[in-house]
Amino acid sequence: MDDQHVGFIGLGSMGAPMAARLIDAGYRLTVCDTRREAVDALRAKGAHTAPSPAAVASAAETVLLSLPTPAVVHAVALGADGVIAGSKVKTMIDLSTTGATVARDVAAALAAKHIAAVDAPVSGGVAGAVKGTLAVMVACPRARFAALEAMLQHLGKVFFIGERPGMGQTMKLANNLLSATAMAATSEAIAFGVKAGLDPAVMIDVINAGSGRSTASQDKFPKAILPRTFDYGFTTGLMYKDLKLCLEEAEAAGVPMWVAAAVRQLWFQVREEIGADQDFTTIMQLVERWAGVEVKRS
């Protein structure tokens, strides 16, 4: 068993810096991505490359995934040329956000091939991926968690969520619901104040000194909204996807979510009117359009 050789599939805005951190920590990586430029960047850091998920899973016993949607995760894990077709893989760690249902389905299919699935979504954005300060929410048997914890600590703070597949996903969706809600509510609150003549930068300072502070007011507004760069590193399409998954899972569990339903509708409008590929901080642009104001530093 070679604990220092791992596979990594998905080198996007989150996956690439996570893979780079593992290389910097001394791990030998075999990587795969559909974009040549992403693969080339990791090859330049010393990674080996493979043409398919199956090839990655034939090179390493442990394979990590960082992919954008549940459908892509399902295809990469279980497709004809997916991880399940690899000859060497024993453990697949999914760092993506898929929802608990997909996590359970993938785990069951992999188990039939004697491959263990580890449900380990992350939170903390691109900055957290680069700095190694992500929250890593791990669901798997305790013994497997103990074996993987040292490696995952290179990505951030590692939490044991539970032993059942999907528990990490449930934790991640709950977290992202709160993040999305904070962004929506803070955008409306700031637009309201600006329309009444308040300085948005002063508003943010007051909110951060008071009871209304959140990750939106502490991070997103000062770094990406007030400077009007709108470049925090997560798309509106992915935020809407996470909210949709959250409400679907909540409905299946019999948990009513009145506030979440309204937040999902607002993010749907952001995706439709601003664009799915735009940074999620552009939610402020939609609220500005409706309110007839512009939020920026004086």
Q: Which residues pair with 94 in a beta bridge?
A: 65, 119
Tell me which DSSP letter residue 85 carries.
Answer: G
Cβ atoms of 14 and 66 within 8 Å: the answer is: yes
Q: Considering the candidates 45, 113, 157, 172, report the single residue annotated as catalytic.
A: 172
Angle at 40 between CA 37 and CA 45, to 5 degrees: 135
Count Cβ neighbours within 10 Å for each residue of 243-261 and write b for 16 or more, e otherwise. bebbbebbeeeeeebeebe
- The string of DSSP codes covering 5-48 is EEEEE--STTHHHHHHHHHHTT-EEEEE-S-HHHHHHHHTTT-E
173: helix, coil or strand?
Answer: helix
Give the CA distances from residue 156 to residues 40, 104, 121, 133, 210, in Å, rounded to whole numbers and listed in that order: 25, 24, 12, 4, 28
Burial class (CB in 10 A: 0-12, 13-18, 19+), 168: buried
Q: Which residues pair with 279 in a beta bridge?
A: 235
Beta strands in 124-247 (DSSP E): 134-139, 156-162
How many angstroms separate the CA atoms of 50 and 9, rounded? 10
If we measure between CA atoms, which residue out of 182, 207, 134, 211 comes closest to residue 284? 182
Cβ atoms of 58 and 87 within 8 Å: the answer is: yes
How many angstroms separate the CA atoms of 228 and 202, rounded? 16
Told to judge if 195 belongs to the known catalytic residues of this protein, a careful annotator would answer no
Which amino acids are annotated catalytic?
172
